[in-house]
Amino acid sequence: MSTRIKSAAVAIIIAVILLILHDTFVFNIALGAIICIAVWEVFKATGYSKHQKVAIACYSFIALDAIMPVFHIHGELLFFNSRLYYLLFVIAVCVIYLIDHNDFSYNDFFVMIGVTSLFNYCFSTLNSMARVTGGVFLLLITLCAAWLADSGAYFAGTFLGKTPLCPEISPKKTVEGLIGGVAANGVIMLIISLVYRYIVKGLPIHFGWIVVAGMACALIGLIGDLTASIIKRQTGIKDYGNIMPGHGGVMDRFDSVLLVAPFMYYLYTQGLIFA
């Protein structure tokens, strides 16, 4: 428990620093590193990390996509956009496939491109959030929507849980815990939004949509969490890594964020977060 608390404290300090620096290149670098580590953890768990040349191509694409917005927002290197370097990434993997086709199958080809594309698409929405007006709040509410639902579900499940939700995948999760987590997440998102609007004097908020978003994120985050758990169960690992002692790897902490982030960014683009 002591190790978990210390790791969590360090993570919170880092998160606060990154939120403060959300509109600088430091945030881009940190997010690129997080995505690369998450992809590496999945490759390692599933055995795809042995294809080192393709893995390097995957990490290079992720790094480029994280850093290039720093140049684009200043009107520089606009010709070198995501459509171009994503194409170059796919071409690079194709060339490696042609050279190493005896050891690199079509399954490897599609899985490694697919995992890289999926993770980069989902997590890079955090980068998009960081550059908009009200970006700090949007990032904070997104991370809270992904992470705090689990706490609400834990307490509800501990005191009220009787009905197993998915015993083969996650034996400790209960239907009562899920309901409690959904309800708690809506309330917590509302409280955070009220504090931001009236105490911090932030932008006007669609409070009704924030409650709905919080409840929806509890379900969406659970889907990401359970999907990551199935992968761990099928690959025979306990945690994806040990970058956070007592908590596991990046994927152990960000599995719920994977799907929540693009959902929250979509709500923002539709004008359903800020009034």
- In tens, the pLDDT along 119-171 reads 999 999 999 999 899 999 999 999 999 988 877 777 777 777 778 888 788 87
Distance CA 249, CA 243 (A): 5
Residues 154 and 212 reside in one and the same domain: yes
Has residue 172 been placed in a domain?
A: yes
Residue type at 157 in one-letter notation: G
Has residue 17 been placed in a domain?
A: no
The tokens for 214 are: 């919080």
Distance CA 186, CA 137 (A): 16
Under 8 Å CB-to-CB from 79, ≥6 apart: which residues? none
Under 8 Å CB-to-CB from 272, ≥6 apart: which residues? 206, 209, 213
Better-predicted residue by pLDDT, 189 or 4? 189
Residues 190 and 60 reside in one and the same domain: no
Domain that holds residue 260: 133-275
Residues 249 and 163 reside in one and the same domain: yes
Q: What is the pLDDT of residue 148?
A: 86
Distance CA 37, CA 15 (A): 16
Residues 106 and 179 reside in one and the same domain: no
Q: What is the pLDDT of residue 138?
A: 96
Domain final residue, candidates 94, 109, 130: 130
pLDDT confidence band for 12 (50 / 70 / 90) = confident
Residues 63 and 143 reside in one and the same domain: no
pTM for the predicted model, two decimal places: 0.91
Q: What is the pLDDT of residue 168?
A: 81
Residues 56 and 184 reside in one and the same domain: no
Has residue 111 been placed in a domain?
A: yes
Residues 268 and 137 reside in one and the same domain: yes
Has residue 5 been placed in a domain?
A: no
Has residue 120 been placed in a domain?
A: yes
Domain final residue, candidates 64, 97, 130: 130
- pLDDT at 4 > cutoff 70: no
Q: What is the pLDDT of residue 116?
A: 98
Residues 168 and 245 reside in one and the same domain: yes
Domain count, the chain: 2
